[in-house]
């Protein structure tokens, strides 16, 4: 039986992840009465930290918090609400089976000293690379920090484009041309143009392919590296869960109402206008606007009743690519994680995959419906910054493993999940022998598990593939600026510009667009 | 041909990073008679145009996988034409010529490009064996076989790295960046030296456009 709640909200936000909470806070700060509905029992979405074994807590599904936008941190005064930022962009270690591995840093001096150990030429080139990226950042960062241009190229859109074009022109002809040629390239070619050290090339390629349906030899992956380089700043201490906590506190402070365990079954649409939502239990809640932080396929094909959207639009949403390729493994360790090639190094972040072809082979598997026998691992040990996540002297190792296809041949089952977990642990053990004996417990999440737990279609950690055709017109041309074909229904999740990751940018930009009307 | 000392450093750097890496091979067969395709035996329009051996997307992808790691495709994509069906003068009466364009055959094989001659016949065998799966009588009909690897194309025709398009047709090497930013309009840093080949806009293929556009540009600028 449907019951209609008395409360009358200005805005209902569907989903209490980092973007949903960001949008809710921004709108509440501007005087709107906001309700956030989260189907899970915890807020934070892909940033939520959770106990995965008694006494051991994960730092959130997503690792890389360096692209968290300062504009979002400042707009919500998140540091006053407990957000603790690192001193600089995170470094990570790339171990080698033979060799001493590479500590990669965005600080030119720190990194150059490491790189010179492999190639003096590359050490010097790295300083040039950083200078190039600094210039690229000046042009690219403003573009990534505002809503994408209007597709119909009205005068407002043109003015914005002209401003960015002017910024590009100011780089000078040579740098402008050098920057323009980067996005369509494959990251392997781009890295090899700069450097002769294979390990360094692989190090740069890893963040450009993680979470994508691409290997380092896929065209367009250089754009992902460029975007990362142009937006990475300081990470969150201890990982994404710290951001989730700060957002939760900020939401309370700004008067946002939140309800967990509240799964939205339908967005109510009357005469082409969104008027509220209906929960799985039958309860109906009315609101002046509905803002969905769910991925676009869930929002339009799952939550909106058939008939409210045109077939042509539904088709565009249906072909939006959301094939997840990432798995998650949490390890509860009885002692620290130590890498054989540099046993004394305190490693908080590491990435495996020391050669481009190795990464490419890991990707080849998903094309044919298999997970990588030797996956590439993005490893994060949150217990250095947050020892309270594990018992005394114990550690948590959080691993995003690439690649594992959502649509694995034969479908996912318990046995396959454990084989995937074994492959991940075996790969880590190549570089950190003896880790097997320290494992107290492990949790393995396949893309199907990620979908089931978080509701992201295909288990895609970015709410849709990061590819050039899904970046600006994200998720579709008519919804790229957070509006939808249904009046008063908006998007604010990672399926909107500028895409996934722990940025809070879609939430911030969407809320600003909504507040403007 | 020009020599680096006559060229600006930036231009030299751009040309050095210009990617050629040929990826195609060619096999020409002289046939005693024309065998039947299993899927559609006999003569007809289906064998008088382009014939593509590309059974599935994954088939093409696997062919590319081999090339990524420095090997020719075990089961390549093939584009086959039989010119003797439309022009009998290219072969003796009753005989046929089959021209097979093969993808992928990377110039940079893992053994090193100069080792291609040792792999040439194995490559030819892979092509014939794969095509024979679709045309079972093919092997018996072959009178002579000519195999051209990317290395052969470089040696015999002069195509750098055996690239049939004089440079990869990737976005960063097209339009205003072919072959280098600032030199896409057929001019070069050397006065009175122009480019009119597939390495100039709009790129390779049997178009004639780079030649036509270069000539028009020269005439338009009254360069000759």
Question: Quick one: pLDDT at residue A95?
Answer: 97
Which of B17, B68, B182 is closest, CB to CB, to A193? B17
Predicted confidence (pLDDT) per residue in A354-372, tens digit: 999 999 999 999 999 999 9
Chain A residues touching B177 at Cβ < 8 A? 177, 180-181
pLDDT digits (tens, 9 = 90+) for A312-348: 999 999 999 999 999 999 999 999 999 999 999 999 9
What is the tens place of the pLDDT at every residue in A39-48?
Answer: 999 999 999 9
Q: Which residues of A touch B171 (CB under 8 A)?
A: 184-185, 219
CA dist., res. A99 & res. A117, Å (int): 11
Alpha-carbon gap: B199 to the closest alpha carbon of chain A (Å): 17
* pLDDT, greater one: A273 or A172: A273
Which of A17, A1, A2, A6 is CA-nearest to residue A294?
A: A17
Chain B's closest residue to A219, CA to CA, is B170
Convert the pLDDT of each residue in B8-39 to its tens digit. 999 999 999 999 999 999 999 999 999 999 99
pLDDT in tens, A464-474: 999 989 998 99
Which pLDDT value is given to residue B108?
A: 97
If interface means Cβ-Cβ distance under 8 Å, which residues of chain A face chain B?
173-174, 177-178, 180-182, 184-185, 189, 193, 217, 219, 357, 360-361, 364, 367-368
B218 has pLDDT over 60 = yes
Subunit contact B58:A367, Cβ cutoff 8 A? yes
Q: pLDDT at residue A3 above 60?
A: no
pLDDT at A171 over 90: no
Does pLDDT of A2 surpass 80?
no
Under an 8 A CB cutoff, do A177 and B182 touch?
yes
Verify cis geometry, omega within 30 degrees of 0, for the bond prior to A403.
yes
Find the CB nearest A185 among B68, B172, B181.
Answer: B172
How close A215 gets to chain B, by Cα (Å)?
11
Q: What is the pLDDT of residue A1?
A: 41
**pLDDT tier, A157 (very low <50, low <70, confident <90, very high otherwise):** low
Handedness of CA A208, A209, A213, A218 (dihedral sign): positive
Q: Which of A300, A243, A275, A303 is nearest to A22 (CA)?
A: A243
For residue A184, give the nearest of B10, B17, B172 by CB distance. Answer: B172
From the CA atom positions of chain A, what is the Rg in Å? 22
**Reported ipTM:** 0.91
**Spatial CA neighbour of B131 closest among B222, B7, B27:** B27
Chain A interface, best mutation among B8, B68, B70, by max A CB count within 10 A: B68
Question: What pLDDT is attached to residue B221?
Answer: 87
pLDDT tens, position by position, A389-448: 999 999 999 999 999 999 999 999 999 999 999 999 999 999 999 999 999 999 999 999
| Residue with more model confidence, A168 or A31 | A31
User: Which value, in Å, is the radius of gyration of the alpha carbons in chain B?
Assistant: 20
* Banded model confidence at residue A178, pLDDT cuts 50, 70, 90: confident
Is residue A143 scored above 90 in pLDDT?
no
Residue A184 and residue B182: Cβ atoms within 8 Å?
A: no
CB A160 within 8 A of CB A146: yes
Q: What is the DSSP letter of B161?
A: G
pLDDT at residue B31 in the model: 98
Q: How many other β-carbons are positioned within 10 Å of the β-carbon of residue B128? A: 18
Mean pLDDT of A252-258: 98
Highest mean pLDDT among A144-153, A168-177, B144-153: B144-153
pLDDT value at B203 more than 70: yes
Q: Is the per-residue pLDDT at A8 higher than 90?
A: no
Question: What average pLDDT score do residues A150-159 get?
Answer: 63
User: Which residues are within 8 A (CB) of A94 and not within 5 positions of it... i.e. 6 or more apart?
Assistant: A101, A102, A104, A199, A202, A203, A206, A350, A351, A352, A353, A354
Paired with A270 in beta bridges are: A273
CA distance A491 to A507: 8
- The per-residue pLDDT for A153 is 54
CB contact under 8 A, B68 and A367: no
Q: What percent of chain B has pLDDT over 70?
A: 100
CA-CA-CA-CA torsion sign (A327, A330, A331, A336): positive
A51-60 b/e with 16+ CB inside 10 Å = b? Answer: ebbeebbbbb
pLDDT of residue A517: 74
Q: What rounded mean pLDDT belongs to chain A?
A: 94
pLDDT cut 90: percent of chain A above it: 87
What is residue B109's DSSP assignment? -
């Amino acid at each position: 039986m449907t019951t209609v709640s008395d409360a009358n909200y200005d805005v209902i936000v569907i989903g209490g992840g980092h973007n949903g909470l960001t949008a809710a806070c921004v709108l509440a700060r501007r005087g709107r009465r906001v309700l956030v509905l989260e189907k899970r029992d915890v807020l934070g979405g892909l940033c939520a930290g959770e106990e995965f074994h008694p006494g051991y807590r994960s730092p959130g599904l997503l690792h890389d918090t360096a692209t968290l936008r300062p504009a979002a941190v400042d707009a919500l005064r998140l540091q006053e609400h407990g957000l603790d930022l690192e001193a600089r962009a995170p470094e990570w270690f790339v171990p080698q089976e033979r060799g001493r591995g590479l500590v990669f840093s965005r600080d030119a001096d720190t990194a150059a000293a490491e790189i010179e150990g492999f190639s003096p030429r590359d050490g010097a080139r790295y300083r040039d690379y950083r200078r190039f990226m600094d210039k690229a950042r000046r042009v690219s960062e403003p573009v990534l920090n505002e809503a994408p241009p209007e597709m119909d190229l009205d005068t407002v859109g043109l003015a914005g484009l002209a401003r960015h074009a002017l910024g590009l022109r100011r780089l000078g002809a040579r740098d402008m041309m050098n920057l323009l040629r980067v996005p369509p390239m494959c990251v392997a070619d781009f890295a090899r143009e700069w450097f002769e050290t294979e390990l360094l090339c692989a190090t740069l390629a890893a963040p450009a392919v993680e979470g994508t349906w691409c290997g380092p030899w896929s065209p367009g992956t250089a754009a992902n590296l460029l975007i990362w380089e142009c937006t990475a700043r300081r990470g969150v201490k201890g990982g994404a869960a710290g951001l989730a906590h700060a957002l939760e506190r900020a939401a309370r402070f700004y008067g946002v109402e939140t309800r967990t365990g509240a799964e939205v079954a339908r967005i109510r649409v009357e005469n082409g206008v969104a008027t509220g939502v209906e929960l799985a239990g039958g309860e109906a809640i009315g609101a002046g606007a509905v803002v969905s932080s769910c991925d676009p396929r869930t929002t339009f094909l799952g939550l909106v009743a058939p008939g409210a959207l045109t077939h042509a639009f539904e088709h565009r949403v249906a072909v939006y690519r959301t094939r997840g390729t990432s798995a998650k493994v949490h390890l509860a360790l009885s002692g620290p994680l130590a890498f054989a090639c540099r046993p004394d190094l305190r490693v908080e972040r590491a990435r495996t995959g020391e050669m481009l072809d190795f990464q490419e082979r890991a990707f080849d598997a998903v094309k044919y419906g298999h997970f990588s026998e030797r996956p590439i691992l993005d490893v994060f040990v949150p217990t250095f910054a947050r020892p309270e996540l594990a018992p005394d002297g114990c550690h948590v190792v959080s691993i995003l493993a690439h690649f594992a296809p959502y649509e694995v041949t034969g479908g996912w089952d318990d046995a396959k999940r454990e084989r995937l977990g074994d492959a991940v642990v075996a790969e880590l053990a190549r570089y950190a022998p003896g880790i097997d004996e320290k494992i107290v417990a492990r949790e393995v999440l396949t893309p199907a598990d990620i979908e089931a737990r978080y509701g992201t279609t295909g288990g895609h950690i970015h709410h849709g593939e990061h590819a050039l055709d899904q970046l600006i017109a994200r998720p579709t041309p008519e919804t790229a600026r957070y509006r939808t074909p249904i009046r008063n229904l908006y998007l604010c999740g990672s399926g909107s510009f500028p895409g996934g990751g722990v940025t809070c940018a879609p939430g911030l930009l969407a809320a600003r667009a909504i507040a403007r009307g | 041909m020009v020599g680096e000392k006559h060229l600006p450093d930036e231009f030299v750097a751009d040309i050095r990073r210009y990617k050629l890496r040929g990826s195609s091979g060619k096999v020409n067969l002289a046939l005693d008679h024309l065998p039947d395709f299993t899927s559609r035996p006999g003569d007809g329009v289906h064998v008088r145009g382009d014939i593509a051996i590309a059974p599935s997307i994954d088939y093409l992808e696997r062919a590319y996988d081999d090339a990524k790691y420095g090997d020719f495709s075990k089961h390549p994509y093939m584009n086959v034409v039989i010119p003797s069906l439309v022009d009998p003068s290219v072969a003796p009466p009753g005989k046929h010529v089959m021209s097979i364009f093969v993808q992928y055959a990377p110039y940079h094989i893992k053994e090193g490009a100069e080792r291609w001659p040792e792999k040439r016949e194995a490559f030819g065998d892979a092509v014939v064996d794969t095509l024979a799966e679709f045309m079972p009588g093919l092997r018996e009909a072959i009178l002579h076989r000519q195999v051209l690897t990317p290395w052969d194309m470089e040696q015999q025709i002069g195509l750098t790295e055996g690239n049939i398009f004089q440079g990869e047709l990737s976005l960063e090497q097209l339009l205003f960046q072919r072959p280098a930013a600032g030199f896409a309009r057929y001019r070069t840093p050397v006065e009175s030296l122009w480019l009119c080949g597939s390495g100039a806009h709009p790129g390779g293929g049997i178009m004639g456009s780079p030649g036509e556009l270069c000539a028009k540009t020269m005439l338009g600028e009254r360069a000759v």
